[in-house]
A and B are shown apart, each in its own frame.
Chain A
């Protein structure tokens, strides 16, 4: 019994002693773990502490610095059209921790070194500045009661600020206006940027002296830097200026409507980007690769080292298809002819003229010119560049489109090469008498003659046949409504009434007429119903010139690697290949027939443009147009006045066309007695200019650009 008890006791004892032992083991384990922590802390904080501290004191800021210049733009002969002009610039970059008081300090100092225009400073800027610099006074603007409300969270920071803004007196504003307006102007620019993004303080009119003084005092102006900004320089002045487009200023920064697009592509908000035409269309290409610089600073903001992460690179260069010398000459011709015409009577509505010249085989635009006659603020006559009108405005083109009408007739089978129709006045019930112009005596004629003499009635009869109808004098003319869409479908194949696909933004397609009256179908056949753009006319005549290929016109020929050597070109990165949009689904012989008709316009005994082109050595072909149209220009009171548009399309040489062109001069005169073929004058002169330049270049004569540049002054009227 006792033994058992003892045994149990021993067991209990054993158990008793076991638990404390195990608890001690647990405690020992805890001790080990915590010792490990202390040991590791010691290693980190004592052994490596200094290294860690040094690393903390180094702060690295990746800043995108030095804006890289944009790519240059050259013309087809590699003459610089758009260049970059270096500008002195003063920038400010703030860090995430920069306080407003520090910025004001810098602004005040900087104001003593530079002149800063103050015209962009707003009342609000001044008030914001006042609150920042007069903290105590600003506090007093708020009543005790309002502070109580603020503490009770009934008023928010925002409300308090608003109240302060409202209560700043005229006097307070005046004080600042007198003494510190320039500081406000500088502070405003500093504050408009984002942290770590260099912000332009001044990039226009920074004098060498300012630049030097600021450079000397950079030490005391933390965040301020002197760099180079770039302005676009246009070697040919206003020539082709509107098509080249513009870039935004650093104040404008990224255009709001495309903000997300640009930000996603690593742009800064104050970056300058192309905002119109070629600059905008080829932004990706022209954009410079910014140099990325990593500034390693200590806590005080002193730069310890600067590491160049990636080198900046100028944007890629663009080579245009435009021949700038030709362009200059063409523009000059348009200006001269416009002025000549304006000096003649009865041309008060005339204010514009367009020329498009392109290579019908490749679609390269050689010249895209337009001029607008207008007056500046002082009432002085100026001729503004309006080259964009060639793609953004449309007009009734008249008989110039007859080539398309004849071809539609051939293809629909209602006429054939050689079909003879009688030219006679058409009397259709409910429609004014439809007839050809007075130069044509009624009688039979074939397709060639019809083109040569520009017979309206031949076209009318063709259109009537397409519409599946028959002409009966003095009776109504029933037509198939589809006739409109049939004709337009064929016209579209030549580029009339569709986008030509030119590589510029904003191209319009013109407007098809809405009515389906029979008389309007006849008008459509002679180009007096639907309206087309000058570039469409150029594409149309190119399609006839090259035997039926509708080619996409383009103004950019090549993209090249930027290189720093002057007078040399970088490697070609991309070269635009001719792009055939469609092959006109007509027999080659039909197109050949119309080409022949076009030849006769300029060479035939009755050719409408014979007087101007028969003696041209380069064998041109083409088609004139005189449209009876309605005025639709800027003078509102004269809208819908009947007027005449004069047009001319053509190509040369006849056998192997290398240049196709369209001349469009809308609203020339209202009365036919004032007729003066400005279209033909311009047409002849631009072709002469083209072939003359070609000859000069073949002979290796020096470029005449300089002499032309000098002429600019005399051109001003």
Chain B
């Protein structure tokens, strides 16, 4: 009896409230972009549709709450296999795949296009969490070799989807997968020395990559549009009329918002389809530094709450799941906001929970569902050894 009661009260209203605020931001921002959209999109009420997606997302959350997340531990590899089959289907171009701007990343479904890699992100979090838990149980007192072994296992599970994503190609999504893996490796307890080494290598690799990108694009078989994104990022003004166009426009929009913003629906800078990837730019333009900072802070609060949940969870598997979700959301927010203010090159990643888009929103809601689930099954043992 006691147990049941605690379960019911364990729905995390803090998290839900923060999410509610973000949903409000999303609806306002999407509605504000409406008048700047191309004529063919003018008649669609995207804000309303987004709220509808939130409603569907709420159902997704409710459904995920029905099962104990422990069951995910058992079916982790089945989910992974299912996700891989979906990705393979894209690779093999089975009927129903959709190619947009050269990337075959979608299936056509009655409700719209569905991107399986979105789902795969969640499966990846579950699988890596399981790998870590299993490893930890096997090696209570891990040696350096054991740590490396764990690292190898994670890498092995990560490589197949990464390979298929690269084939689509979808660089942004690949980076999200690496961010997820990175955050999980960090919390997995692997020696900090190794993590430091990996970080060092990553920085070195990234530097080498950028150098190769710019000077030897042939070696990497880089597509021209990818190269252009880099040029546009590094020197937006010189490429203002071509690749840097979006960045220049985005900087103009955000910058001209100044401290207080221009006010609701006062948009002077035209950004193509600003209701999706560049939604943060129009937030910055309308609501200024204050508005933009509030949005970033909302995300920060969201993550803060998730960290708390992860900390309070006594089951490492639950903590790992939370850490994976944190990594995923942090990276996407950082990447999306970063690209609008020129910190990072432009990729096609939307701003989680805010950008218009059904399939990505459903995925984030699924992630939120996971975290809520972890929270709701956390027992507060009065006799806990923790001090």
Contact = CB atoms under 8 A, between A and B. Distances in A.
Interface string A16-29: 10111011111101
Contacts of A51: 255
Given A36-B343, A44-B341, A56 B252 contact: yes
Contacts of B333: 34
A401 to B, nearest CB: 64
Interface in B91-133: none
B269 A16 contact: no
A46 B258 contact: yes
A26 B186 contact: yes
30 contacts: A11-B141, A15-B136, A15-B316, A16-B386, A19-B189, A23-B307, A23-B310, A23-B311, A23-B319, A25-B186, A27-B303, A27-B307, A30-B326, A31-B300, A33-B330, A34-B330, A36-B338, A36-B343, A37-B337, A37-B341, A37-B343, A38-B293, A40-B338, A41-B284, A44-B254, A45-B257, A45-B288, A53-B258, A55-B252, A55-B256
B13 interface: no
The winner among B253, B258, B311 for most chain A CB atoms within 10 A is: B258
B316 A19 contact: yes
Given A11-B141, A299-B268, A52 B187 contact: no
Contact of B254 (A13, A29, A30, A41): A41
Interface in B295-315: 296, 299-300, 303-304, 307, 310-311
B292 interface: yes
Contacts of B187: 19, 22-23, 25-26
Given A26-B327, A31-B300, A45-B257, 13 more contacts: A16-B385, A23-B319, A26-B186, A30-B307, A34-B300, A41-B254, A44-B254, A45-B284, A46-B258, A48-B255, A49-B258, A50-B258, A53-B256
Interface in B341-356: 341-343
A18 B323 contact: no
Contacts of A55: 252, 256
Contact of B256 (A16, A38, A49): A49
Nearest to B258: A49
A83 B338 CA distance: 61
Size band of the A side of the interface? 35 or more
A677 B55 CA distance: 101
Contacts, number: 123
A70 B314 CA distance: 86
Contacts of A15: 136, 140, 189, 316
Contacts of B289: 41-42, 45-46, 49
B44 interface: no
B183 interface: yes
A154 to B, nearest CB: 15
Contacts of B311: 20, 23-24
B251 interface: yes
Nearest to B285: A56
Secondary structure at chain A's binding surface: helix, strand, loop or mixed? helix
Contact of B323 (A8, A23, A50, A299): A23
Interface of B: 136, 140-141, 183, 186-189, 251-259, 268-269, 284, 288-289, 292-293, 296, 299-300, 303-304, 307, 310-311, 316, 319, 323, 326-327, 330, 333-334, 337-338, 341-343, 385-386
Contacts of B253: 56
Contact of B189 (A18, A33, A49, A50): A18
Nearest to A40: B341
Interface in A246-287: none
B300 A45 contact: no
Given A41-B254, A41-B341, A49 B259 contact: yes
B259 to A, nearest CB: 6
Contacts of B252: 52, 55-56
A46 B307 CA distance: 31
A30 B299 CA distance: 10
Interface in A636-682: none
A18 B341 CA distance: 36
B296 A37 contact: yes
B259 A26 contact: no
A466 B300 CA distance: 104
A439 B253 CA distance: 97
A42 B255 CA distance: 9
A78 to B, nearest CB: 45
B293 A41 contact: yes
Contact of A45 (B136, B255, B303, B307): B255
Given A37-B334, A40-B341, A30 B257 contact: no
B154 to A, nearest CB: 15
Kindly list the 6 A-B residue pairs having the minimum CB-CB distance in the complex, ordered from nearest: A52-B255, A49-B258, A45-B289, A53-B256, A22-B187, A56-B256
Given A15-B136, A25-B186, A27-B303, A45 B254 contact: yes
Contacts of B292: 41, 45
A45 B258 contact: yes
A107 to B, nearest CB: 26
Contacts of A41: 254, 284, 289, 292-293, 296, 341
B183 A19 contact: no
A22 to B, nearest CB: 4
B257 A49 contact: yes
A51 B255 CA distance: 8
Nearest to A17: B386
Contacts of A38: 293, 296
